[in-house]
Amino acid sequence: MIVALLILHGLLSIALLGALTHQAAALWWPAQRGGQRFVDRFRGRQAVVFTNAVVVLYVFTFVLGALLYPSYRVDVRVVLEDLQVYAPTGAFELKEHFAALGLGLLPAYWYYWRQPAGDFRWTRRLQTAYLALSAWYGFVTGHVLNNLRGLGT
Amino acid sequence: MIPGRLLPPFSTAFAICYGYAAAVSLQVFIYYPALGEFTTEIKPAADAGPPMFWYGWLAFGAGGGVIAMLVALVLPRRLDARVWPALSGAASFAVAILHVYLARAWFQQ
């Protein structure tokens, strides 16, 4: 059951990364008009269409992570501490903080993406950048930790 | 239905309250995963296993956010325009950077 939840958590996080990375690229590095290359098309998405998907995926990914967390605390972190491997534990501590702050940011993110674009361009950029960076950090850290000592092993 | 203008104050206050709670270990409750038990008391690790404070910090942050929404609800609407709209994003970044600094001990052992 734990392994199934972990796989679902990982799959949802990949979908979240896709939505957030498209949105962040469209905001911070908008495509030139008429560009036909892969990168131009990647940057050329209409950023607003990702908002609801980001909110839903972030919440579901977060909830699954919160459900898995007790197993990590008992089965993984204790072992790493016994082995005196502290850096991965610290990296996971940061993952939990970044993810929690991202969850708290979602209401404001959702609100400002429903306002006229011109008034809140930098607000949207800042919020989307935070969510994208926290999602990428969480994904990489979770992946590395699972390689070090996976749940259910 | 919650008026949309109350959502940014929630996010800003959540970041500040969560960051503060996690920095000083001020949790609303503690969860002991080995026992499957929520409590407000710290128990000996030998009996109860490792504690989890994170859920308690989330609850503290959410509580702070709700209080900020109530405060924003009673304040005049004209004050909304005086608040920097990017404050919620900036607060999240600032608290995240603070916690990177606080977590440095994990990487120095």
Q: What's the DSSP call for residue B4?
A: G
Rounded to two decimals, the ipTM of the complex is: 0.93
Rounded to whole angstroms, the Cα distance separating A85 from A137 reads 19
pLDDT recorded at residue B38: 94
Is pLDDT above 70 for A153? no
The model's confidence at residue A123, banded by pLDDT at 50, 70 and 90, is very high
| Structure tokens that stand for A130 in this block | 């935070």
pLDDT digits (tens, 9 = 90+) for A99-115: 999 999 999 999 999 98
- Please, which residues have CB within 8 angstroms of residue A28's CB and are 6 or more apart in sequence? A125, A129
- Rounded Cα distance between B2 and B4, Å, is 6
pLDDT for the residue numbered B25: 92
Tell whether the model's pLDDT for residue A10 goes beyond 70.
Answer: yes
pTM of the model: 0.92
> Which string of DSSP letters, residue by residue, matches A84-123?
T--HHHHHHHHHHHHHHHHHHHHHHHHHHHTS-GGGGHHH
Question: Phi, psi at residue B76, to the nearest 5°?
Answer: -60, 145
Nearest chain B CA: its distance from A91 CA (Å): 8
User: Does residue B72 have a pLDDT over 90?
Assistant: yes
For the segment B50-69, the average pLDDT, to the nearest whole number, is 96
d(CA A69, CA A87): 18
Query: Does A2 touch chain B if contact means CB atoms closer than 8 Å?
Result: no
| Chain A closest-CA separation from residue B93 CA (Å) | 7
C-alpha neighbours within 13 Å on the C-beta side of residue A99: 29
Residue with tokens 């900036």: B90
B85–A101 C-beta distance less than 8 A: no
Tokens of B54: 């994170």
Write the pLDDT tens digit of every residue in B11-34: 999 999 999 999 999 989 999 999
B52 closest CB neighbour out of A73, A94, A120: A73
DSSP A43: H
Q: A151 with A72: CB under 8 angstroms?
A: yes
